[in-house]
C-alpha cells in the first residue's frame, strides 16, 4: 500500500511506468488477467487522487488549468490497445468498426467476435481497459443490474436496477468536407417495427431518447488467491440496451432480452457501410449535483436480466 501511495503522490510519473508495463507486457493468459486487475487497482488510486483537481464541467476543453499537467501527460501516454485518453476533450476514444446496418439491437457496442449481429459497433479493445480509462477521467462506476434474495426467503427474489455515473456516447465520423464530427449514438437507433401499436402515434415515430448511459462497470468474478475475471471481457457486452448483468455501460432500469421486447433497431441513415472504421467516443459527465440519468429517461419498460 505504501508503494501504491507513492505512485499517486508522484502524480503520474511512476504511474505511467507501472501502467505501461502492465498493459504492454506479454504473459500467459492467467497472468494477464491478474495484471489487468492490478491495473484497475492502481488506476483507481490515481482517479481518486485526481478527482479533487478534476474540472466540474463536462464540456470539451475544460480539463486545462486545474488538472495537474504531469498527470495529464501521464494519462495521455498510457498505452491501452485501441484506446486513446483525450484529456483536453475529456473523453475516451475507442477504435471500432460498423458491424450492422439492419436488425434489432440488444447492444450499442460489443467486442469483436461476439455479438456483432445485434450491435452497431464492434471494438477490439478490452472493456477492462475502457473501465480503467474512464476512471482516470473521474467517472464514477456503479454496478450492473442484479437479482437478490429477499431476506431468508429462498424462493423470493427482487431486481436491483443498475447504477453508475452518466457517460455520454458518440460516434465520430467524417462529414462531407472531411472534418471529424461527433454524432450522439441515439442518431443511429430507430424504433423497431415491433413498436407498431405502441403509445407513439403512427405519423410521429418514437425517437431513441438519450445518448447517456450509466457507468455500471461490469463485474469482477472469482474467489480465492487466483486471478479474477472481468466478465465484460468474456461476454463482449460493452454498451447495452438490453440487460445482461455484466455490461460496462448500460441504460437505467432493467430491460428484457426477450426478442418480443426488443423495440429498437439500427438506423442506417448517415451510418457508414458495414466494416467501416469509426471512433466510439465516451465522455463522462461531471456536472456538480447532477443525478445519474434517472429511470424516467429509460426508453423501454422493465424486464428481467
Q: What is the pLDDT of residue 172?
A: 97
| Number of folded domains that form the chain | 1
Q: What is the pLDDT of residue 222?
A: 80
In a domain? residue 305: no
> What distance separates the 2 farthest-apart alpha carbons in the chain?
64
Q: What is the pLDDT of residue 14?
A: 33
In a domain? residue 82: yes
For the chain, 305 residues long, give each residue's pLDDT as a single digit of tens.
333 333 333 333 333 333 333 333 333 344 444 444 445 444 544 444 444 444 343 444 444 444 557 766 777 677 899 999 988 889 999 999 999 999 999 999 999 999 999 999 999 999 999 999 999 999 999 999 987 767 776 677 678 899 999 999 999 999 889 899 999 999 999 998 765 454 444 545 578 999 999 999 999 988 777 778 999 999 999 999 999 999 999 999 888 777 666 789 999 999 999 999 999 999 999 856 544 444 445 555 444 44
Pairing state between β 166-174 and 153-160: unpaired
Which of helix, strand or coil describes residue 14? helix
Q: What is the pLDDT of residue 67?
A: 54
Whole-Å CA distances, 272 to 54, 267, 277: 35, 11, 8
Q: What is the pLDDT of residue 298?
A: 55
Burial 40-65 (b: 16+ CB within 10 A, else e): bebbbbbbebbeeebbeebeeebbee
How far is residue 58's CA from residue 283's CA, in Å, rounded to a whole number?
Answer: 8
How far is residue 186's CA from residue 121's CA, in Å, rounded to a whole number?
Answer: 13
Q: What is the pLDDT of residue 179?
A: 93
In a domain? residue 303: no
| pTM for this prediction | 0.72
Q: What is the pLDDT of residue 78?
A: 78
Nearest CA to 101 among 276, 267, 242, 264? 267
Q: What is the pLDDT of residue 214?
A: 97
Which of helix, strand or coil describes residue 90? coil
How far is residue 62's CA from residue 186's CA, in Å, rounded to a whole number?
Answer: 24
Element (H, E) at 45: helix 29-51
Side-chain half-sphere CA neighbours of 175 within 13 A:
6
Query: Which triple of cell numbers denotes residue 137?
Result: 477521467
Which of helix, strand or coil describes residue 110? strand
Nearest CA to 238 among 136, 122, 150? 122
Interacting residues of 14 by C-beta distance below 8 A, sequence separation 6+: 6, 7
Element (H, E) at 41: helix 29-51
Which of helix, strand or coil describes residue 161? coil
How far is residue 16's CA from residue 79's CA, in Å, rounded to a whole number?
Answer: 9
Q: What is the pLDDT of residue 158?
A: 75
Which of helix, strand or coil describes residue 282? strand
In a domain? residue 302: no
In a domain? residue 204: yes
In a domain? residue 39: yes
How far is residue 93's CA from residue 182's CA, in Å, rounded to a whole number?
Answer: 11
Length of the chain as a residue count:
305
Q: Which domain holds residue 244?
A: 2-297
Q: What is the pLDDT of residue 225?
A: 75
Q: For residues 243 and 162, is the Cβ–Cβ distance under 8 A?
A: yes
Beta strands in 144-186 (DSSP E): 146-150, 153-160, 166-174, 180-184
DSSP state of 279: E
How far is residue 144's CA from residue 251's CA, in Å, rounded to a whole number?
Answer: 10
Nearest CA to 143 among 208, 219, 70? 219
Amino acid at each position: 500500500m505504501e508503494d501504491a501511495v507513492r505512485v499517486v503522490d508522484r502524480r503520474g510519473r511512476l504511474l505511467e511506468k507501472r501502467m505501461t508495463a502492465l498493459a504492454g507486457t506479454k504473459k500467459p493468459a492467467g497472468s494477464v488477467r491478474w495484471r489487468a486487475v492490478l491495473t484497475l487497482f492502481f488506476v483507481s488510486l490515481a482517479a481518486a487522487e485526481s478527482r479533487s483537481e478534476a474540472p466540474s464541467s463536462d464540456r470539451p476543453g475544460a480539463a486545462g488549468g486545474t488538472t495537474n499537467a504531469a498527470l495529464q501527460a501521464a494519462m495521455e501516454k498510457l498505452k491501452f490497445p485501441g484506446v486513446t485518453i483525450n484529456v483536453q476533450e475529456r473523453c475516451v476514444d475507442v477504435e471500432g468498426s460498423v458491424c450492422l446496418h439492419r436488425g434489432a439491437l440488444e447492444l450499442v457496442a460489443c467486442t469483436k467476435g461476439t455479438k456483432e449481429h445485434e450491435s452497431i459497433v464492434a471494438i477490439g479493445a478490452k472493456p477492462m481497459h475502457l473501465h480503467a480509462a474512464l476512471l482516470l477521467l473521474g467517472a464514477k462506476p456503479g454496478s450492473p443490474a442484479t437479482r437478490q434474495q429477499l431476506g431468508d426467503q429462498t424462493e423470493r427474489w427482487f431486481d436491483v436496477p443498475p447504477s453508475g455515473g452518466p457517460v455520454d456516447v458518440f460516434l465520430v465520423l467524417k462529414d462531407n468536407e472531411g472534418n471529424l464530427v461527433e454524432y450522439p449514438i441515439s442518431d443511429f437507433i430507430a424504433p423497431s417495427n415491433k413498436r407498431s401499436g405502441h403509445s407513439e402515434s403512427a405519423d410521429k415515430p418514437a425517437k431513441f431518447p438519450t445518448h447517456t448511459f450509466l457507468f455500471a462497470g461490469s463485474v469482477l468474478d472469482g474467489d480465492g488467491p487466483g486471478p479474477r475475471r472481468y466478465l465484460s471481457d468474456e461476454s463482449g457486452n460493452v454498451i447495452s440496451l438490453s440487460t445482461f448483468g455484466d455490461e460496462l455501460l448500460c441504460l437505467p432500469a432493467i430491460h428484457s432480452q426477450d426478442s418480443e421486447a426488443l423495440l429498437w433497431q439500427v438506423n442506417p441513415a448517415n451510418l457508414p457501410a458495414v466494416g467501416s472504421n469509426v471512433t466510439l467516443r465516451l465522455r463522462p459527465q461531471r456536472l456538480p449535483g447532477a443525478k445519474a440519468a434517472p429511470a424516467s429517461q429509460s426508453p423501454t419498460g422493465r424486464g428481467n436480466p
